[in-house]
Amino acid sequence: KLGNETIKAELGRSTWKLLHTMTARFPLEPTSEERTALKQWITLLSRLYPCGECAEHFQVLLKQYPPQTSSRDAASQWACAVHNKVNERLEKPMFDCSLVADMYQCGCDEEEGSEEV
Asked if 80 touches ligand FAD (CB under 6 A), the answer is: yes
Closest CA to 61 of 34, 32, 88, 35: 88
- As measured in angstroms, the least distance from the Cβ of 81 to ligand FAD is 7
> Among the candidate windows 10-18, 27-35, 36-44, 66-74, which touches ligand FAD by CB under 6 A?
10-18
Asked if 54 touches ligand FAD (CB under 6 A), the answer is: yes
Asked if 105 touches ligand FAD (CB under 6 A), the answer is: no
Determine contact, residues 101/113, Cβ cutoff 8 Å. no
Determine the Cα–Cα distance for residues 28 and 23; give it in Å rounded to an integer.
10
